[in-house]
Amino acid sequence: MRRVFPVIGLGLLAACSGGGGNSAGGGGGGGTVVQPPAIPTLSVTLDTAAQTQVASETDSRAAFAFTATYSGSTSDPIYPKIGFDAAVLTQDGDIVQTGKSYAVKLSSLRGLSAENRTGDVTFRLCRDQACNEVYPGSTQTFRYTLDVKLLDWGTFQRTPAHTGFVHATFDPQKIVKAWEWSPAGTQSFRPIAAKGDSLFVTRVSSTGLTSVHALNSANGTQRWNYDIGQIHSAGGPAVAGDQVHVVTMSTSSSDNRIVTLGATNGQFVRNMLFAAQWSQFAQPTVIDRELYLASGYYGNVVYGYNLDDGTTRWTANGSGGRVWDGETPAADDQYVYYYSGGLDVFRRTDGSLVKSIADPFWQWNGYSYAGGPILGARKNAIAYSGSGMGTYPIAFPLVSYDLDAGQVAWRTANSYNIAPALGNGVLFAGSNTQGQLDAIGEDDGKVRWSWPLPAGEQFVGNMIVTDNLLFFSTTAKVYAVSLSTHATVWSASTPGQLALSPDGKLIVVPQLGTGTIMTAYSLR
């Protein structure tokens, strides 16, 4: 930028001095315009014009770097400046100068939602710190692409915390049916797991044959299948790394199998054994290279396995002793959480009991339990206070446990029926007895707002919460409700159990005895 000194000031000065006419020195009031020296050109080139990085939903940080080098010279100061979207990036340290080159490091922020972002970083050289004057030829643009990927749907309610939360935003106007899958002779499906662009589902045929299938999430075509055989029961798969794990039961014994298969090819890897009698199973919980299963010949046993070699790491007995089947434990970096009429906390390293928190509200209605504890953001765990929900259409209150204090924090006033979802401090649960969906504060268990259940419909399956939408199913439809307006923004007449795949598909699997068509909807 060239600065021109103002002419108007010189004219006013001549008038005040009494000068007139066109005599020398007066110039008729017109002064001489003085032009400053031209700003020299400093031509900048970047060692790279663009860069793409991939990050995950749990850790959206990624590093971007480039070097800017200029040609030309000046005796004036040179100040490098960069501009970028501060809602996505932050500067990582100072700009480092070596001769005529400047090394720039940037990183993406923590906590970014899962989506693909593209933006520009502007580099320029300035004559002053405020960058009021920019050296010609020095402004260049570096383009970045940050792809924050969705997590795998690895187990019951997605992660070992069982929250059903997806840190992403979806436009309900873009939701379209992608495909259906209904192989001939299907009797039923179990809930799915998903990794990358692959879906894994347990299927039971009309002849009673249990098999595991891998599907292409993009179009629903089958990649492989593995026949387990004519058995009593099998749960839905869990996926960890390059392996798929399915809990099965042939007969009442101590030699029931967790069948492990290769995720890419469906090849048999190994069996891991456990005790149970005539049980139904939730998806086991996988974390790092470990798997945790709640079972036992008389229930009340938590099994921990090493997934590198299939060995049993430890077994531990719960203090409640009131649940035999249907439950999956929760897990975090240090502990495993098991509910059986009270909440037990076991150390992951050796299975030792760290603490047990009694549930004074427990209601017994059989040995089955639907789901597992939900790990919250307030050092709390939330669980249904009763058994039998996996077998009977009954409802129970939800109880939150303060893990540090070792006591009950709150109990909901209403009773609920299906697997809740927890995200951004709000717990979402459906009550068939109250005829409504409730948004419940994670901090105090109080209802913030409700969505009325349509007449003649009942909640089934589970809930998924994203940054802007809540997905759930009734006996008639699968719904999406806006978290800001609390209004229904999308629905489809394909009810069932829900999962959200890493490539942005909402997968709907019919509940037992309600259908044989698995449906996928593209959310992007």
Q: d(Cα 90, Cα 80) in Å, to the nearest integer? A: 16
User: What pLDDT is stored for residue 5 in this prediction?
Assistant: 31
Cβ 386 vs Cβ 399: under 8 Å: no
**301: CB partners within 8 A, 6+ apart:** 274, 275, 294, 295, 315, 316, 317, 318
44-71 per-position pLDDT tens digit = 999 999 999 999 999 999 999 999 999 9
User: What pLDDT is stored for residue 30 in this prediction?
Assistant: 56
Cβ 246 vs Cβ 227: under 8 Å: no
Cα–Cα distances (Å) from 356 to 39, 52, 210, 318, in that order, read 74, 47, 37, 9
pLDDT, mean of residues 247-251? 96
Cβ 245 vs Cβ 258: under 8 Å: yes
R_g of the chain, CA atoms, integer Å: 32
User: What pLDDT is stored for residue 9 in this prediction?
Assistant: 33
Percent of the chain residues topping a pLDDT of 70: 94
Residue 517: count other Cβ atoms within 10 Å of its Cβ: 14
Is residue 3 pLDDT above 50, yes or no? no
pTM: 0.91
Cα–Cα distances (Å) from 144 to 89, 121, 517, in that order, read 10, 8, 41
Is residue 36 pLDDT above 90, yes or no? no
Is residue 6 pLDDT above 50, yes or no? no
Centroid of chain to Cα 137 = 43
Q: d(Cα 300, Cα 327) in Å, to the nearest integer? A: 10
Q: d(Cα 185, Cα 99) in Å, to the nearest integer? A: 73
184-227 per-position pLDDT tens digit = 999 999 999 999 999 999 999 999 999 999 999 999 999 999 99
Three-state SS at 309: coil
Q: d(Cα 143, Cα 138) in Å, to the nearest integer? A: 16
Q: d(Cα 181, Cα 516) in Å, to the nearest integer? A: 9
Cα–Cα distances (Å) from 445 to 340, 342, 439, 448, in that order, read 21, 18, 9, 9
Is residue 10 pLDDT above 70, yes or no? no
Q: d(Cα 65, Cα 48) in Å, to the nearest integer? A: 9
pLDDT band per the 50, 70, 90 thresholds, residue 31: low
In the chain, what is the straight-line distance between the N-terminal and C-terminal CA atoms, in Å?
A: 45
Could you tell me what percentage of the chain is helix, strand and coil, using 3-state DSSP and rounding each to the nearest 5?
A: 5, 50, 50
Please give the full DSSP string across 220-268, using - where no structure is assigned: --EEEEEEEEE-SEE---EEETTEEEEEEESSSEEEEEEEEEETTT--E
484-499 per-position pLDDT tens digit = 999 999 999 999 999 9
Give the dihedral sign, CA 324/211/196/490.
negative
pLDDT, mean of residues 137-165? 98
User: What pLDDT is stored for residue 513 in this prediction?
Assistant: 74
Cβ 185 vs Cβ 229: under 8 Å: no
286-327 per-position pLDDT tens digit = 999 999 999 999 999 999 999 999 999 999 999 988 999 999
Is residue 72 classed exposed, middle or buried when 0-12, 13-18 and 19+ CB atoms within 10 A define those classes? middle
pLDDT, mean of residues 457-482? 98
Q: d(Cα 176, Cα 522) in Å, to the nearest integer? A: 5
pLDDT, mean of residues 246-264? 97
User: What pLDDT is stored for residue 163 in this prediction?
Assistant: 98
- Mean residue pLDDT of the chain comes to 93
81-109 per-position pLDDT tens digit = 999 999 999 999 999 999 999 999 999 99
Q: d(Cα 210, Cα 205) in Å, to the nearest integer? A: 7
Q: What are phi and psi of 42, to 5 degrees?
A: -120, 100
366-419 per-position pLDDT tens digit = 999 999 999 999 999 999 999 998 888 899 999 999 999 999 999 999 999 999
User: What pLDDT is stored for residue 32 in this prediction?
Assistant: 74
Q: d(Cα 448, Cα 423) in Å, to the nearest integer? A: 14
